Amino acid sequence: IAAWSGLARWLARHVSRDVIHGVVLGLGIALIVAGLRRIQGDAVLGAASVVLALVLLGRGGWLTMPVLMAVGWAVGSWRQPELLQALATTPWAIHLPEPQWPAFNQPGVWLAAIGLAAAQIPLTFGNAILGIVAETRRLFPMVSLDENRAARGTGLMNLLAGGLGAPPMCFGAGGMAAQVACGARTGRAPVFLGSVLLLAGLFASGQLTDLLSLLPAGTIGAMLFVAGFSLTIGTAGSSRDKEARAVLLTTAAVSVWNAGVGVVVGVLLEAGLRARVLRI
């Protein structure tokens, strides 16, 4: 609805560059903090993985995630041999998704839509609409992506995937920043990743839980750190006056908690500073 009515683009026109950069910066910091919390419980592996990731990022980046996952699975197999044994003994079988569309006419669906999905809209707008468009324009200026296209893609993706039993998904700015940092430059990268996930879901769904459980906390923390690091450096390098910095940093601070609320706070703060209601 937001896409086809033009509401997404209209809202985006009222959000300045400083607010958008603040959202992206806040998302990056939130990912770094989440990564550090994971690393805290697995400090040696986590710190070594972060150093390894930064070294690999400086050499093109495309080996970063495969190497981190290979190291993580090796350490996980050593720490949890029972999981490795369970992975080896789980039978391979095709598992097709079960359509969920008939359940959409139940009263509980509308309760969930109002109580859960509606509450998620501000966060999705900040991260998956404003954030992804800003990052795309920065990294790929020749690509014609606007807020309406991002909103339309998000809506159609969830209507289709939700009907097949998938959880809610979005075009996260952090995911794209991590893929680009690790060497992705064209649409072939997400097509390849999607194909791998599709084949894994169809033919190895019984093994996926054990396979992901083998990844230690330190490895997952390092991956989150890389994604957050890639986002935060994208907001650097532009000159700002004191008021613009205040909008940027305040939006970022609130966006660490909730990107949607960060947008609202940033817009209100900027309006107050322009109207001279607030002074710093």
Axis-axis angle for helices 17-40, 242-257 (nearest 10): 40
Q: Is residue 279 domain-resident? A: no
Task: Write down the pLDDT at residue 75.
Answer: 94
Identify which has the larger pLDDT, 225 or 181.
Answer: 225
Q: Is residue 93 part of a domain?
A: yes
Task: With a cut of 70, say whether residue 53 has pLDDT above it.
Answer: yes
- pLDDT value, residue 275: 87
Residue 107 covered by a domain: yes
267 has pLDDT over 70: yes
Nearest CA to 71 out of 271, 231, 221, 190 is that of: 221
Quick check: 141 pLDDT over 80? yes
Question: What pLDDT shows up at residue 46?
Answer: 94
pLDDT band at 45 (very low <50, low <70, confident <90, very high): very high
Q: Among 106-115, 181-190, 204-213, 219-228, whose mean pLDDT is lowest?
A: 106-115
Query: How much is the pLDDT for 76?
Result: 93
pTM for this prediction: 0.79
Q: Is residue 130 part of a domain?
A: no
Tell me what percent of the residues of the chain surpass a pLDDT of 70.
98
Residue 239: what pLDDT? 66
As for how many domains the chain has, the answer is: 1
Domain contains 96: yes
Least confident range from 21-30, 33-42, 233-242: namely: 233-242
- Residue 270 belongs to a domain: no
Q: Give residue 216's pLDDT.
A: 94
Q: Is residue 150 assigned to a domain?
A: no
Q: Which domain holds residue 103?
A: 18-121+155-242
Examine the pLDDT at 113 and tell me if it is beyond 80: no
Q: Taking all residues of the chain, what is their mean pLDDT, rounded to a whole number?
A: 86
Alpha-carbon distance 25 to 3, whole Å? 25
Counting residues of the chain whose pLDDT is more than 90, the rounded percentage is: 25
* pLDDT tens figures, 204-252: 888 888 888 899 999 999 999 988 888 887 766 566 788 888 898 899 9
Q: What is the pLDDT of residue 236?
A: 64
